[in-house]
Amino acid sequence: MAGWVFVRTLTEIAPGVLVRQSELFRTNSTIVTDGGRCLVVDPAVTPADLGELVIGLRRAGLTPVAGFASHPHWDHVLWTTALGDVPRHASRGAVRVAERDRAELIASIEDAAPGHELEVCGRLTPIDPAATVVPWEGPEALVVAHDGHAAGHCALFLPGSGTLLAGDMCSDAEIPLLDLTQADPVGDYLAGLERLAALPVRRVVPGHGSIGDAAEFRRRVAADIAYLEQLKRGVEPADPRLVEPWLIAEHHEQVSRCAGLSEQPQ
């Protein structure tokens, strides 16, 4: 992916919405502000990154009052005591998986980004399944739940600025990564994309990769649908995002598991 830049400082990408991008996996941490208070979404990814994030928040005069984890993968459930002992919200499904797979989650953190305060990582508070917004007093953050990429995955949509915090979807750096433990991973992912595409998105912040405007959001949704439709039909998808060896390995796994899905008897 030539030409990308990552922004390690907290940058205001929309009124009251700050993003910091880590070099590792181009992971985005997003802050939604409410005066001097803030909601911290998917803080990541190395301990040094979290340290810099904490310093950035202090310099900006922002105190975290809540966190949110988009889904129960190791790089989205990180935390540090320096961010405060505040609730880290997630969907009920995400909390269930994070608790069930805690040993695996911790092993992944230690393997990929060692040195975190493991005791506070993956400690999530379930939101009410009927809740449509993040339970905090700041700007409205709509919860958009679906099972694409991971069971209990939630994007957040900030209607005030038209900003979509997409979790691990809508990336210019990663192909759609399926949850192959589900019965219908491609269907789940397409259903998730459909939900996101119905929103009046003016700006998209993916979990990994570049921030995009409305046109770029539409382009990414179309690219993801094209990839998944090819996967379903058993056609080898040609996707320019297939660059990193780990991503190519995931892609091959998806091809072998999903090829010709639409030809299977119903």
Q: Which residues bind Zn ion (CB under 5 A)?
A: 73, 168
Burial of residue 125 (CB within 10 Å: 0-12, 13-18, 19+) is middle
What is the nearest approach in angstroms of Zn ion to the Cβ of residue 168? Answer: 4
Which is closer to Zn ion, CB of 56 or CB of 167? 167
Closest CB 175 distance from Zn ion, rounded Å: 12
Q: Classify each residue of 73-111 as buried b or exposed e, where b means 16 or more C-beta atoms within 10 Å of its C-beta.
A: bbbbbbbbeebeebbbbbbebbbbbbeebbeebbeebee
Distance in Å, CB of 74 to Zn ion, minimum: 8
In what helix (H) or strand (E) does residue 156 lie, and over which residues does it extend? strand 153-158
Angstrom distance (rounded) from CA 123 to CA 78? 9
> Least separation, in Å, of the C-beta of 35 and Zn ion?
31
Could you give the strand order of the β-sheet that contains 125-126, starting from the edge strand earlier in sequence? 11-14, 17-21, 28-34, 37-41, 63-68, 88-90, 125-126
Q: Tell me how many degrees the CA angle 104-42-124 measures, rounded to the nearest 5.
A: 60
Q: Residue 73 or 241: which CB sits closer to Zn ion?
A: 73
Shortest Cβ 75–Zn ion spacing (Å): 7
Q: Which is nearer to Zn ion, 12 or 104 (CB)?
A: 104
Which residue, 73 or 220, has its beta carbon nearer to Zn ion? 73
Q: Of 73 and 89, which has the nearer Cβ to Zn ion?
A: 73
Measured distance CA(159)–CA(139) in Å, rounded? 9
